[in-house]
Amino acid sequence: MKLILTAEVPGLGLPGDVVEVKDGYGRNFLLPRGYAIAWTRGGEKQITQIKRARKVREVRDLSHANEIKQALEALTITVPAHAGETGRLFGSITSTDVADAVKKAGGPVLDKRTVQLAAPIKTVGKHAAKVAVHPDVTASITLEVVAG
């Protein structure tokens, strides 16, 4: 099955790539989750749009990645969460919550897959997380989880 990727799929490709996968993988995983669309001859226009959008979002080079790293590390990131009297959260803070909090704090828009948590965050307080800005650059950020 020939598909056009709309999102990065580890081990397969980047958005805008045309890939050949087994029918079941494409039909049962990639297409329902929106990671790919069916390849057609008219899809060439979509490929150029996807690649243009990817070029705008991607990190240009190592110096740009270091700039983003410095901006991330300088941010004060506060994540509000529902907590009990003892400071234990109802649920946990996920990488999606962290990416949203960075955006609200004035940082760059992050993909949730670039945020790495050492362990699930289930308590109020300061916690550390890492953000893979570039394959060679990883930013360490500090989160302040507050009851709210």
Least reliable range by pLDDT among 11-25, 34-48, 110-124, 125-139: 34-48
94-125 residue pLDDT tens? 999 999 999 998 888 888 888 999 888 999 99
Mean pLDDT of 45-56: 72
Return d(Cα 58, Cα 65) in angstroms, integer.
10
Contact present, 95 and 116 (Cβ < 8 Å): yes
3-class SS of residue 6: coil
Neighbours of 120 (CB within 10 A): 12
The pLDDT confidence band at residue 54, using thresholds 50, 70 and 90, is low
Predicted local distance difference test score (pLDDT) of residue 55: 67
Beta strands in 2-136 (DSSP E): 2-5, 18-20, 36-38, 77-81, 88-93, 115-117, 121-123, 125-134
CATH 3.10.430.100, domain 62-147, yes or no: yes
CATH class held by domain 2-57: alpha beta
Domain limits, CATH 3.40.5.10, in the chain: 2-57
| Residue where the block lists tokens 């057609």 | 40
Domain limits, CATH 3.10.430.100, in the chain: 62-147
Predicted local distance difference test score (pLDDT) of residue 22: 95
Joined tokens for residue 13: 């490709």
Predicted local distance difference test score (pLDDT) of residue 67: 84
